[in-house]
Amino acid sequence: MTTASPAPAVPALATMPRIAEVSRNTAETQIRVRVNLDGTGVAKLSTGIGFFDHMLDQIARHGLIDLEIEAKGDLHIDGHHTVEDVGITFGQAVAKAVGDKKGIRRYGHAYVPLDEALSRVVIDFSGRPGMLMNVPFKSGMIGTFDSQLAHEFFQGFVNHAFVTLHIDNLRGENAHHQAETVFKAFARALRFALELDPRSAGTIPSTKGSL
Protein backbone atom coordinates (compact mmCIF):
# COMPACT_ATOMS: atom_id res chain seq x y z
CA MET A 1 0.00 0.00 0.00
CA THR A 2 1.43 3.34 -1.00
CA THR A 3 0.87 6.65 0.68
CA ALA A 4 0.36 9.75 -1.40
CA SER A 5 2.91 12.47 -0.93
CA PRO A 6 1.56 15.54 0.82
CA ALA A 7 0.81 18.51 -1.40
CA PRO A 8 3.45 21.23 -1.30
CA ALA A 9 2.72 23.94 1.19
CA VAL A 10 1.29 27.14 -0.22
CA PRO A 11 2.62 30.30 1.43
CA ALA A 12 0.02 32.12 3.46
CA LEU A 13 -1.37 35.29 1.98
CA ALA A 14 -0.71 38.55 3.74
CA THR A 15 -3.19 39.18 6.53
CA MET A 16 -2.26 42.74 7.45
CA PRO A 17 -5.09 45.11 6.53
CA ARG A 18 -4.27 47.21 3.50
CA ILE A 19 -5.84 50.40 4.75
CA ALA A 20 -4.57 53.96 4.55
CA GLU A 21 -5.78 57.49 5.15
CA VAL A 22 -4.18 60.59 3.66
CA SER A 23 -5.04 64.28 3.96
CA ARG A 24 -3.90 67.04 1.63
CA ASN A 25 -4.49 70.69 2.44
CA THR A 26 -3.56 73.59 0.17
CA ALA A 27 -4.81 77.10 -0.43
CA GLU A 28 -7.04 75.64 -3.16
CA THR A 29 -8.37 72.39 -1.68
CA GLN A 30 -8.78 70.38 1.49
CA ILE A 31 -8.89 66.65 0.76
CA ARG A 32 -9.18 63.54 2.93
CA VAL A 33 -9.07 60.07 1.39
CA ARG A 34 -9.36 56.72 3.17
CA VAL A 35 -9.02 53.42 1.31
CA ASN A 36 -9.37 49.77 2.20
CA LEU A 37 -7.95 47.77 -0.69
CA ASP A 38 -9.61 44.58 0.57
CA GLY A 39 -13.05 46.05 1.02
CA THR A 40 -16.46 45.31 -0.47
CA GLY A 41 -17.00 48.43 -2.58
CA VAL A 42 -18.56 50.70 0.03
CA ALA A 43 -18.20 54.38 -0.86
CA LYS A 44 -18.73 57.60 1.06
CA LEU A 45 -18.06 60.49 -1.30
CA SER A 46 -18.39 64.25 -1.12
CA THR A 47 -16.48 66.33 -3.67
CA GLY A 48 -19.12 68.89 -4.56
CA ILE A 49 -19.15 67.64 -8.18
CA GLY A 50 -22.01 65.21 -8.74
CA PHE A 51 -20.75 63.43 -11.84
CA PHE A 52 -17.27 63.07 -10.34
CA ASP A 53 -18.77 61.43 -7.24
CA HIS A 54 -20.62 59.08 -9.61
CA MET A 55 -17.33 58.10 -11.28
CA LEU A 56 -15.52 57.64 -7.95
CA ASP A 57 -18.37 55.36 -6.88
CA GLN A 58 -17.59 53.19 -9.92
CA ILE A 59 -13.99 52.83 -8.71
CA ALA A 60 -15.15 51.66 -5.29
CA ARG A 61 -17.93 49.37 -6.49
CA HIS A 62 -16.15 47.66 -9.35
CA GLY A 63 -12.71 47.73 -7.74
CA LEU A 64 -14.04 46.32 -4.45
CA ILE A 65 -12.27 49.13 -2.62
CA ASP A 66 -13.89 50.77 0.38
CA LEU A 67 -13.43 54.45 -0.38
CA GLU A 68 -14.07 57.59 1.63
CA ILE A 69 -13.38 60.97 0.04
CA GLU A 70 -14.13 64.36 1.52
CA ALA A 71 -13.12 67.29 -0.65
CA LYS A 72 -13.63 71.02 -0.35
CA GLY A 73 -12.24 73.04 -3.20
CA ASP A 74 -12.47 76.33 -5.03
CA LEU A 75 -15.44 75.28 -7.13
CA HIS A 76 -16.40 78.93 -7.57
CA ILE A 77 -13.48 78.98 -10.04
CA ASP A 78 -13.97 75.55 -11.61
CA GLY A 79 -13.50 71.87 -10.78
CA HIS A 80 -9.89 71.56 -11.91
CA HIS A 81 -8.09 71.85 -8.57
CA THR A 82 -10.59 69.64 -6.76
CA VAL A 83 -10.49 66.81 -9.31
CA GLU A 84 -6.71 66.89 -9.71
CA ASP A 85 -6.07 67.00 -5.96
CA VAL A 86 -8.48 64.13 -5.33
CA GLY A 87 -6.48 62.12 -7.88
CA ILE A 88 -3.23 63.03 -6.12
CA THR A 89 -4.53 62.14 -2.67
CA PHE A 90 -6.18 58.92 -3.86
CA GLY A 91 -2.86 57.90 -5.44
CA GLN A 92 -0.99 58.63 -2.21
CA ALA A 93 -3.49 56.59 -0.22
CA VAL A 94 -3.29 53.60 -2.56
CA ALA A 95 0.54 53.71 -2.53
CA LYS A 96 0.54 53.81 1.26
CA ALA A 97 -1.98 50.97 1.58
CA VAL A 98 -0.25 48.65 -0.88
CA GLY A 99 3.09 49.04 0.91
CA ASP A 100 6.02 47.04 -0.47
CA LYS A 101 3.75 45.27 -3.01
CA LYS A 102 4.72 41.79 -1.86
CA GLY A 103 2.35 39.16 -3.20
CA ILE A 104 0.29 41.38 -5.49
CA ARG A 105 -0.43 40.42 -9.08
CA ARG A 106 1.07 43.79 -10.14
CA TYR A 107 -0.56 43.91 -13.58
CA GLY A 108 -4.24 44.37 -14.33
CA HIS A 109 -6.34 45.01 -17.40
CA ALA A 110 -10.02 45.25 -18.25
CA TYR A 111 -12.38 45.93 -21.11
CA VAL A 112 -15.74 47.42 -20.13
CA PRO A 113 -18.71 48.20 -22.43
CA LEU A 114 -21.70 50.43 -21.84
CA ASP A 115 -24.16 50.42 -24.71
CA GLU A 116 -22.21 51.80 -27.71
CA ALA A 117 -19.08 52.69 -25.71
CA LEU A 118 -16.12 50.40 -25.01
CA SER A 119 -12.95 51.20 -23.08
CA ARG A 120 -9.76 49.36 -22.19
CA VAL A 121 -7.50 50.11 -19.21
CA VAL A 122 -4.16 48.46 -18.43
CA ILE A 123 -2.23 49.15 -15.21
CA ASP A 124 1.17 48.15 -13.87
CA PHE A 125 2.28 48.84 -10.29
CA SER A 126 5.74 49.42 -11.72
CA GLY A 127 7.02 52.01 -9.26
CA ARG A 128 7.37 54.40 -12.22
CA PRO A 129 4.70 56.98 -13.07
CA GLY A 130 3.66 57.01 -16.71
CA MET A 131 0.36 57.47 -18.50
CA LEU A 132 -1.05 57.36 -22.00
CA MET A 133 -4.71 58.32 -22.31
CA ASN A 134 -6.63 58.30 -25.56
CA VAL A 135 -10.24 59.26 -24.93
CA PRO A 136 -11.84 61.42 -27.64
CA PHE A 137 -14.79 62.70 -25.63
CA LYS A 138 -17.78 63.61 -27.80
CA SER A 139 -18.73 66.45 -25.48
CA GLY A 140 -16.70 68.95 -23.50
CA MET A 141 -19.11 68.91 -20.58
CA ILE A 142 -20.87 65.99 -18.86
CA GLY A 143 -23.43 67.74 -16.71
CA THR A 144 -21.28 70.23 -14.78
CA PHE A 145 -18.15 68.07 -15.16
CA ASP A 146 -15.51 69.21 -17.65
CA SER A 147 -14.53 66.03 -19.52
CA GLN A 148 -10.90 67.23 -19.71
CA LEU A 149 -10.67 66.76 -15.94
CA ALA A 150 -10.76 62.98 -16.30
CA HIS A 151 -7.19 63.25 -17.57
CA GLU A 152 -6.20 65.43 -14.60
CA PHE A 153 -7.63 62.92 -12.14
CA PHE A 154 -5.79 59.96 -13.63
CA GLN A 155 -2.54 61.92 -14.08
CA GLY A 156 -2.63 62.93 -10.42
CA PHE A 157 -3.25 59.31 -9.42
CA VAL A 158 -0.45 57.98 -11.63
CA ASN A 159 2.12 60.48 -10.37
CA HIS A 160 1.52 59.62 -6.73
CA ALA A 161 0.63 55.91 -6.86
CA PHE A 162 3.73 55.36 -9.03
CA VAL A 163 1.98 53.24 -11.63
CA THR A 164 2.02 52.92 -15.40
CA LEU A 165 -1.47 53.43 -16.83
CA HIS A 166 -2.82 53.07 -20.37
CA ILE A 167 -6.38 54.22 -21.02
CA ASP A 168 -8.11 53.84 -24.38
CA ASN A 169 -11.71 54.52 -25.29
CA LEU A 170 -12.09 52.23 -28.28
CA ARG A 171 -15.49 53.54 -29.34
CA GLY A 172 -18.32 55.65 -28.05
CA GLU A 173 -20.76 58.36 -29.07
CA ASN A 174 -22.04 59.49 -25.68
CA ALA A 175 -19.56 61.27 -23.40
CA HIS A 176 -21.23 59.98 -20.23
CA HIS A 177 -20.91 56.42 -21.52
CA GLN A 178 -17.30 57.01 -22.56
CA ALA A 179 -16.33 58.30 -19.12
CA GLU A 180 -18.21 55.60 -17.27
CA THR A 181 -16.57 52.78 -19.25
CA VAL A 182 -13.15 54.35 -18.55
CA PHE A 183 -13.71 54.58 -14.80
CA LYS A 184 -15.24 51.10 -14.58
CA ALA A 185 -12.39 49.57 -16.58
CA PHE A 186 -9.89 51.39 -14.39
CA ALA A 187 -11.62 49.96 -11.32
CA ARG A 188 -11.51 46.38 -12.62
CA ALA A 189 -7.89 46.66 -13.73
CA LEU A 190 -6.95 48.14 -10.35
CA ARG A 191 -8.78 45.36 -8.53
CA PHE A 192 -6.95 42.65 -10.45
CA ALA A 193 -3.51 44.27 -10.09
CA LEU A 194 -3.93 44.66 -6.33
CA GLU A 195 -5.19 41.13 -5.71
CA LEU A 196 -2.92 38.91 -3.67
CA ASP A 197 -1.62 35.99 -5.72
CA PRO A 198 -1.36 32.79 -3.61
CA ARG A 199 1.37 31.48 -5.92
CA SER A 200 3.67 34.41 -5.17
CA ALA A 201 2.80 35.17 -1.56
CA GLY A 202 5.49 37.13 0.22
CA THR A 203 7.47 37.89 -2.92
CA ILE A 204 7.81 41.08 -4.90
CA PRO A 205 6.70 40.57 -8.53
CA SER A 206 9.86 41.86 -10.15
CA THR A 207 13.22 40.37 -11.17
CA LYS A 208 14.82 43.48 -9.62
CA GLY A 209 13.52 42.51 -6.18
CA SER A 210 11.82 45.85 -5.63
CA LEU A 211 9.12 48.02 -7.17
> Is position 42 within any domain?
yes
pLDDT score recorded for residue 10: 45
One digit per residue, the tens of pLDDT, for the chain of length 211 reads 555 555 444 444 556 799 999 999 999 999 999 999 999 999 999 999 999 999 999 999 999 999 999 999 999 999 999 999 999 999 999 999 999 999 999 999 999 999 999 999 999 999 999 999 999 999 999 999 999 999 999 999 999 999 999 999 999 999 999 999 999 999 999 999 999 999 988 899 888 888 8
> Is position 3 within any domain?
no
> Is position 64 within any domain?
yes
Cα gap 122→109, rounded to integer Å: 4
Torsions phi, psi for 153 (to 5 deg): -60, -50
> Is position 205 within any domain?
no
pLDDT score recorded for residue 4: 52
137-146 tens-digit pLDDT: 999 999 999 9
> Is position 56 within any domain?
yes
Q: Which residues lie closer than 8 Å to 206 by C-beta, 6 or more apart?
A: 106
Give the CATH number for residue 133. Answer: 3.30.230.40
Q: What is the DSSP string of 100-160?
A: T-TTB--EEEEEEEETTEEEEEEEE--SS-EEEEE---S-SEETTEETTHHHHHHHHHHHH
In the chain, the number of structural domains is: 1
Axis crossing angle, helix 50-63 with helix 149-161, rounded to the nearest 10 = 40
Cα gap 78→65, rounded to integer Å: 28
> Is position 163 within any domain?
yes
pLDDT score recorded for residue 41: 98
pLDDT score recorded for residue 11: 47
What domain range includes position 151? 19-200
> Is position 7 within any domain?
no
> Is position 206 within any domain?
no
